[in-house]
Amino acid sequence: IAGITQAPTSQILAAGRRMTLRCTQDMRHNAMYWYRQDLGLGLRLIHYSNTAGTTGKGEVPDGYSVSRANTDDFPLTLASAVPSQTSVYFCASSDGSSNNEQFFGPGTRLTVL
Amino acid sequence: GQNIDQPTEMTATEGAIVQINCTYQTSGFNGLFWYQQHAGEAPTFLSYNVLDGLEEKGRFSSFLSRSKGYSYLLLKELQMKDSASYLCAVRDKDYQLIWGAGTKLIIKP
């Protein structure tokens, strides 16, 4: 692995189904983030984790949950998907340095029907 | 509320110079970032400004005026591969990034 990986690349999901988007990084970064990106809108933060064992809510957390059991993995779960959760989801990480540059995974394109 | 404004779309000619502006109103300020995002790909980091002034990195430069809540990204000697969206983001008082919607830059030969 080099950087951040996300799985699946894309998914079509029926409304009401549960779905977990996976994110793994091998850079030993402390902080990790989940964003959604919709046409005409900026990236919006869903949840974040500043370090393993801790999580926090971002701008649009409703309908999503996360866990951070270890440094490398930060899965995002949709408990009961709804069509408004159709979006491109990006996972990102940063090392907490002064500029706190975020490195992004390739994204997951999710369609909820 | 927090707000980042940047033009939706700009067009420029190969070999020319283009300036993409970003204005912001945020709860606190702890740095401003520019990212590049090609269609269908992830954003990648371009520049970071935390103090007023110009930061130059090859063909790309970024300027910040904190008193005016203003930044710009300057791209010189435009190449076709520079066709992409450019995202402005401000780190707020809670050290979270607030993102603009992005500026789609179209380069014409």
Tens digit of pLDDT for each residue in A39-72?
888 899 999 999 999 999 999 999 999 999 999 9
Contact flag B99-A43 (C-beta cutoff 8 Å): yes
What are the distances in angstroms from CA B43 to CA A15, A33, B84, B88?
29, 14, 10, 11
Of B31, B42, B89, the CB nearest to A107: B42
Nearest CA-CA distance, residue B35 and chain A, Å: 10
Q: With a cut of 70, say whether residue B86 has pLDDT above it.
A: yes
Q: Over chain A, what is the mean pLDDT?
A: 94
Q: With a cut of 80, say whether residue A33 has pLDDT above it.
A: yes
What are the distances in angstroms from CA B35 to CA A44, B41, B68, B86, B104?
15, 12, 21, 6, 12
Q: With a cut of 90, say whether residue B1 has pLDDT above it.
A: no
- DSSP class of residue A84 equals G
Rounded CA-CA distance B33/B50 in Å is 9
Contact flag B101-A100 (C-beta cutoff 8 Å): no
Nearest CA-CA distance, residue A101 and chain B, Å: 7
Give the Cβ contact number of residue B16 at 10 Å: 12
Asked if B91 is an interface residue toward chain A (Cβ–Cβ < 8 A), one would say yes
Residue B96 pLDDT grade (very low, low, confident, very high; cuts 50, 70, 90): confident
Q: With a cut of 70, say whether residue A98 has pLDDT above it.
A: no
Asked if B44 is an interface residue toward chain A (Cβ–Cβ < 8 A), one would say yes
In tens, the pLDDT along B27-49 reads: 899 999 999 999 999 999 999 99
In tens, the pLDDT along B54-83 reads: 999 999 999 999 999 999 999 999 999 999
Task: Tell me what pLDDT residue B61 has.
Answer: 97
Strand, helix or coil for residue A85: helix
Which residues of chain B have a CB within 8 Å of the CB of A40? 101
As beta bridge partners, residue A66 has: A76
Residue A1 pLDDT grade (very low, low, confident, very high; cuts 50, 70, 90): low
Q: With a cut of 80, say whether residue A17 has pLDDT above it.
A: yes
Which residues of chain B have a CB within 8 Å of the CB of A99? 31, 48, 50
- DSSP class of residue A73 equals B
